[in-house]
Amino acid sequence: YAAFFLYSSTVIENMYNRIKDTEEESNGCRMKHLLTAVTSVLAVVVILTAVREKSMNLRVSKYSLLVSPESTKHDAEQYAKLKKVRFSTLEDEEKLELWNTYKNQFGKSYQSDEEENNRYIIFEKNLKYIDVLNAQNPHALYGLNAFADQSEEERSMRRMKAQNLSEVKSILSQVIGTDVVQAAEQGAFAHHDHRKLRTWLAGLKIKEGEHTDFDQAQGEFAWASASDCAACRKFTAFGNYNFGNMPDNFDWRTLGAVTSVKNQAYCGSCWSFSTAADVEGTWYLATDELISRSPQQLVECNTMNLGCDGGYPFAAMQYLSHIGGMLSWDDLPYDKVFEGDALANPVGTPTCNTHLINEKMKTHQVAHIGGWQMVALGDEYEDLMRVVLLKNGPLSIAFNANGMDYYIHGVAGGCSSAEDCEAGSVSHPDIDGEGDMFTCDPTSLDHAVLAVGYGVQTTDNGDIPYWLIKNSWGDAWGEDGYYRLVRGTNACGVANMVVHSVVKDPSS
């Protein structure tokens, strides 16, 4: 196109030479200069456009997974433009160029050449991992982010220490009674015959030999029901929702029940962020106050969990129901964890600030939590999850987070086989000859998040139902800090451990 315009300039000049004798010289000069200027400007514009397009194409072809926040929006138009690149096809020089681009974009610097060489080796291995994730998840895009130069050991420090679902159920049986867990094992909705209110001693276990009346000072437990509707105080029409009558797409963010995305940094405290976010929504629906709550309080003071070494939201909610409430983020901010080299400087659990907590409790500057509900304990509860979320606010979830590290956007949860899809797991092949298997095991729970909604993604291959999940790895990760996971197959155990907080009446 640029050559065409330059050629046009020459043609116009020749035409001018033929007619210049018939025009006044002064007007002819002005016309000549004008025409030459116009065609020259057009040529420059086209050349610059072509260069920019070539540059953009080069970036897409090699580095499309180095993305800006604007490119992570998950609307239909962006989804249609989903492009995946196989990093394994890059030559060594191209990988080095990509490495330099990555370092510049994410502000990476290293203390020595040896450290950088080691990071580059990790980076190369992670490129293979990203390729596998893109191959196994046809409706999601995985790419480079701030974690791409980190080892699996480092990345795992942002998650809990994995526990098998059977072990977690054993802990539950100590807290809420074996009859409730056994009811869940009998199948969906069998628990409705076991909706007993329980009380605990010191927030740790059931009083032996007795079942007392409900005592809000110690906490309530009950199974969630499709008839429960905490949201009906603000949204009375929500009482009409049931299994046969629900919207196809729903997002609590649009109704004001979700605070900003937080960052847990290098501390396995996801369980505290999940709990805090659940309480935020619960308190908002009860009081109209949307206030960020303090994960720091849970990390410091909830002795039933393990601080930066992990824990579970149900135990955190039990602590809150026993102590009476949760402080705000402003009163007790999350600022006592180390954000540098996690392996060189492992973080410990800080000391509980009991004086501050007692003062805030006395003046009722807390979100008063009176108990919690069990929402789901297996794949047969995924439909109930949807109803409870819709009518009661965002839900706290513990599931398997393997594969989430390099998520960019789209609906995650592709299956390598029909059997895996039915089981909710995704098995990835050996990618480096070392026998590494990247498996999203639904029975191994290692991360806690918040379900804030659900929806349906339209694709060329049909509609994909999904859960909309708030993570705690900062808003530069994923879809502005959010994750979408396929719904309906208990993918990664998303329905294996779901709980929800219950508000205590502040006037009581």
**pLDDT tens profile 444-480:** 899 999 999 999 998 877 899 999 999 999 999 999 9
Read off the DSSP letter of residue 236.
G
Q: pLDDT tens for residues 46-77? A: 555 554 444 433 333 333 444 433 333 444 44
Question: Among residues 471, 490, 492, 496, which one is catalytic?
Answer: 471
Q: Is 76 inside any structural domain?
A: no
> What are the tokens at 285?
């629906």
338 and 467 both lie in a single domain: yes
Residue 270 is among the residues annotated as catalytic for this protein: yes
Tell me which H or E stretch contains 56: helix 25-63
Q: Which tokens is 432 given? A: 């480096």
Residues 250, 256, 259, 260, CA torsion sign = positive
324, pLDDT greater than 60 = yes
Q: pLDDT, tens digit, for every residue of 326-343?
A: 999 999 999 755 444 444
Rounded to whole angstroms, how far apart are CA atoms 425 and 442? Answer: 6
Domain of 47, in residue numbers? 2-63
- Stated length of the chain: 508
Looking only at the bridges linking them, the beta strands covering 369-376 and 220-223 are: parallel
Mark which of 30, 47, 63 sits at the end of a domain. Answer: 63
What is the pLDDT, as a whole number, of residue 141? 94
Return the pLDDT at 14: 61
Q: Are residues 255 and 386 in the same domain?
A: yes
- Among 63, 83, 105, give the residue marking a domain's end: 63
Confidence label for 33 from pLDDT (cuts 50, 70 and 90): low
Q: Give the separation between CA 120 and CA 373, rounded to whole angstroms.
A: 46
Q: How many CA atoms lie within 13 A of 133 on its CB side?
A: 27
| Rounded CA separation 56/58 (Å) | 5
Running DSSP on this structure, what letter comes out for residue 254? G
Residue 423 within a domain: no
Q: Is residue 175 part of a domain?
A: yes
In this prediction, residue 68 carries a pLDDT of 35
CA–CA distances in Å: residue 428 to residues 320, 382, 424, 431, 440 = 39, 25, 13, 8, 9
pLDDT at 252: 98
**Cα–Cα distance, 8 to 14 (Å, whole number):** 10
List helix spans (H) across 64-145: 76-80, 92-106, 113-136
Residue type, 169: K
Residue 52 sits in the same domain as residue 169: no
Q: What pLDDT was estimated at residue 343?
A: 45
Could you tell me the CATH number of the domain that includes residue 247?
3.90.70.10
Q: Is 18 part of a structural domain of the chain?
A: yes
In a domain? residue 132:
no
Question: Rounded to whole angstroms, how far apart are CA atoms 215 and 320?
Answer: 14
Position 496 in a domain: yes
> What is the spatial distance between Cα 157 and Cα 150, in angstroms, rounded to a whole number?
11
- In this prediction, residue 414 carries a pLDDT of 61
What gap in Å lies between CA 418 and CA 424, rounded to an integer?
A: 10
79-83, 154-158, 428-432, 438-442, range with the lowest pLDDT: 428-432
Q: Which residue has the higher pLDDT, 41 or 238?
A: 238
Instruction: Give the residue-averaged pLDDT of 361-384.
Output: 91
Please choose, from the candidates 495, 485, 385, the residue with its C-alpha nearest in 3D space to the C-alpha of residue 443. 495
Q: Are residues 450 and 334 in the same domain?
A: yes
- Position 55 scores a pLDDT of 40
The amino acid sitting at 493 is G
**Cα–Cα distance for residue pair 270/202, rounded to 1 Å:** 24
pLDDT tens track for 90-123: 999 999 999 999 999 999 999 999 999 999 999 9
Whether the predicted pLDDT of 11 surpasses 60:
no
The span from the CA of 163 to the CA of 497, in Å, is 12
Provide the total of helices (H) and of strands (E) in the chain, helices listed first: 14, 16
Host H or E run for residue 62: helix 25-63
The answer on 173 and 42 residing in a single domain is no
Q: What is the pTM (predicted TM-score) of this model?
A: 0.76
Q: By percentage, how much of the chain surpasses pLDDT 90?
A: 45
Write the DSSP assignment of 400-414 as a string of letters. Answer: --TT-TTEEEEEE--
In the three-class reduction of DSSP (H, G, I as helix; E, B as strand; rest coil), residue 49 is classed as helix
Q: Which two tokens stand for residue 151?
A: 């080892």
**Dist. CA 161–CA 174, nearest whole Å:** 20
Q: Is the pLDDT of residue 159 over 60?
A: yes
The per-residue pLDDT of the chain, averaged, comes to 77
- Among candidate residues 447, 492, 496, 500, the one labeled active-site is 447
Q: Nearest to residue 262, comparing CAs of 151, 369, 339, 370?
A: 339
Number of domains in the chain: 2
Answer whether residue 353 is part of any domain: yes
CA angle 339, 342, 346 (to 5 degrees): 105
Is position 280 within any domain?
A: yes
> Which among 134, 191, 229, 270 is annotated as catalytic?
270
pLDDT at position 114 is 96
Residue 284's pLDDT band (boundaries 50, 70, 90)?
Answer: very high
pLDDT at position 355 is: 87
pLDDT on residue 360: 92
Do residue 57 and residue 168 come from a single domain?
Answer: no
DSSP string, 377-399: SSGGGHHHHHHHHHHH--EEEEE
Q: What is the CA radius of gyration of the chain?
A: 28
Higher pLDDT, 267 or 190: 267
398 neighbors 502 (Cβ within 8 angstroms): no
Question: What is the reported pLDDT for 207?
Answer: 31
Same domain, 353 and 468: yes
